[in-house]
Amino acid sequence: MIGFPLGAATTTARLTSDPHPRLAQLRACEPVSWLPGLNGWLVTRRDLALEVMRDPETFTVDDPRFSTARIVGPSMLSLDGAEHTRHREPFTAPFRPREVHDGFAEFVERETDRLVTALEPTGAAELRRAFAGPLAVAVVTEALGLVGAGTDTVLSWYDAIVRSVSDLTAGLAAGPAGPEAYAQLRRAVEATVAEGADSSLLTRAADRLALPEVASNAAVLMFGGIETTEGMITNALLHLLGHPDQLALVQADSGLLDNAIEESLRLEPGAAVVDRYATRDTALGPATIRRGDLVTVSLAGANRDPAVFPDPDRFDVRRANARLHLAFAHGRHYCLAAHLARLETRVALRHLLDRLPGLRLDPDRPAAPHGLVFRKPPTLHVLWG
């Protein structure tokens, strides 16, 4: 489209590797910009991002192009209105703040202790897959009550589904691995429901949803819960260990740990973008959006809006308004398991920092966040002792 030269020159490769300088340029000059690489609009200013996410009647997820639905079918993630509510409500109760603490705190502590105990003697590890991923998988499996699926199996499903969703978002063809992984997950969900365990969230949801609907929502909860938490833990570690002055503040005052997590979420949300589709012709900031257009909200861009966050590229564990970030999205599609993800990340960081003395990044194996849709370091190698 004419009038969006920065957007025209912005590639998905740039947004995958090092997006923040270009997002800052877009936010300042083209806050709603047409990107040929996305075949859609990219929204980078926080007020405009909120406008999109607060208006599901104009900007909906309910479109056959929605990438996650193309892999796992309709779910709470890809529906709006009454259907969204019908799909979401059977899963909400365990993820409220009090229920998260009462239902999961002990399990998270126990699983974190087990993983850190195994790491302690080694003096070196790659923490994304030796720690963050297994912890997230264990908690999601516990939360869903999924039977007959071990950590490695669930991780393999998650990897395949996330790769397929990312490929579709980037305009690429998704291979067969994602649908095959989802088929295996669906069989595990069916087996869990057939077993009829009262403690299983999936069994309880099957009282209100058809079995394919239970499976599709289990899939989005599974990969959303794993992706969010694995990314939160890994990115927070990268930020803290990469800024020794800020780490020292947290170690001197443990009360700063929660805000450090929020600041990390602001700087590098695990999900960098969310997609919507225009249901009618409308104006959004300086742009005229046409019915059917893809409108991608850059949570990463909105989270560094200098109108809200002064010195937005700085990691500041004392930032007073860090919780104003949009890392968990906003509106009806606010992340269902945000409180659980926060609990896991808080417990994980506390155990790692308390029990691995001298924890630091491995200088010979640098790490940086990467990804168009889901952003975190592919690996995070650390040393201690």
Decide if pLDDT at 88 tops 80. yes
Position 233 scores a pLDDT of 98
Position 289 scores a pLDDT of 98
Count of alpha carbons within 13 angstroms of residue 189, beta-carbon side: 29
Domain spans of the chain, in order of start:
5-383
- Model pLDDT for residues 189-199, shown as the tens digit of each residue: 999 999 987 77
- Model pLDDT for residues 255-303, shown as the tens digit of each residue: 999 999 999 999 999 999 999 999 999 999 999 999 999 999 999 999 9
Could you tell me where the DSSP H helices lie in the chain? 5-8, 12-17, 20-29, 46-53, 67-72, 81-92, 97-119, 127, 133-144, 151-169, 177-195, 201-205, 211-242, 244-252, 257-267, 299-302, 338-355
**Tokens standing for residue 16:** 């995958």
Q: Beta-carbon neighbour count of residue 51 at 10 Å?
A: 17
Closest CA to 110 of 382, 351, 357, 355: 351
Asked if 256 and 359 touch (Cβ cutoff 8 Å), the reply is no
Asked if 189 and 215 touch (Cβ cutoff 8 Å), the reply is yes
Asked if 296 and 40 touch (Cβ cutoff 8 Å), the reply is yes
Mean pLDDT of 6-12: 97
What pTM was computed for the model?
Answer: 0.95
Asked if 300 and 273 touch (Cβ cutoff 8 Å), the reply is yes
With the C-alpha atoms ordered 315, 234, 42, 322, is the resulting torsion angle positive or negative?
negative
Position 353 scores a pLDDT of 98
Decide if pLDDT at 348 tops 90. yes
- One-letter amino acid at 54 equals R
Mean pLDDT of 105-132: 97
Mean pLDDT of 83-102: 97
Decide if pLDDT at 166 tops 90. no
Mean pLDDT of 177-189: 93
Query: Environment class of residue 240 by beta-carbon count within 10 Å: exposed (0-12), middle (13-18) or buried (19+)?
Result: buried
Q: Which DSSP category does 376 fall into?
A: B
CA pair distance 368, 69, nearest whole angstrom: 29
CA pair distance 297, 317, nearest whole angstrom: 26
Mean pLDDT of 14-18: 96
Any bridge partners for residue 278, and if so which? 59
What are residue 10's phi and psi, to 5 degrees?
-100, 115
Position 117 scores a pLDDT of 98
CATH superfamily, domain at 5-383: Cytochrome P450 (1.10.630.10)
Asked if 175 and 161 touch (Cβ cutoff 8 Å), the reply is no
CA pair distance 333, 77, nearest whole angstrom: 7
Asked if 216 and 75 touch (Cβ cutoff 8 Å), the reply is yes
Query: Environment class of residue 224 by beta-carbon count within 10 Å: exposed (0-12), middle (13-18) or buried (19+)?
Result: buried
Q: Which DSSP category does 130 fall into?
A: I
Decide if pLDDT at 165 tops 90. no
CA-to-CA dists, residue 380 to 111, 166, 168, 235, angstroms? 20, 21, 26, 9
Asked if 3 and 31 touch (Cβ cutoff 8 Å), the reply is no
**Tokens standing for residue 23:** 């997002």
Closest CA to 344 of 151, 84, 100: 100
Decide if pLDDT at 151 tops 90. no
What are residue 134's phi and psi, to 5 degrees?
-60, -35
Decide if pLDDT at 109 tops 90. yes
CA pair distance 249, 244, nearest whole angstrom: 9
Mean pLDDT of 2-8: 93
* Mean pLDDT over the full length of the chain: 95
Q: In what order do the strands lie in the sheet with 59-60?
A: 32-35, 40-43, 294-298, 273-278, 59-60
- Model pLDDT for residues 217-261, shown as the tens digit of each residue: 999 998 888 988 999 999 999 999 999 999 999 999 999 999 999
- One-letter amino acid at 217 equals N
Mean pLDDT of 55-83: 96
- Between residues 120 and 1, the one the model is more confident about: 120
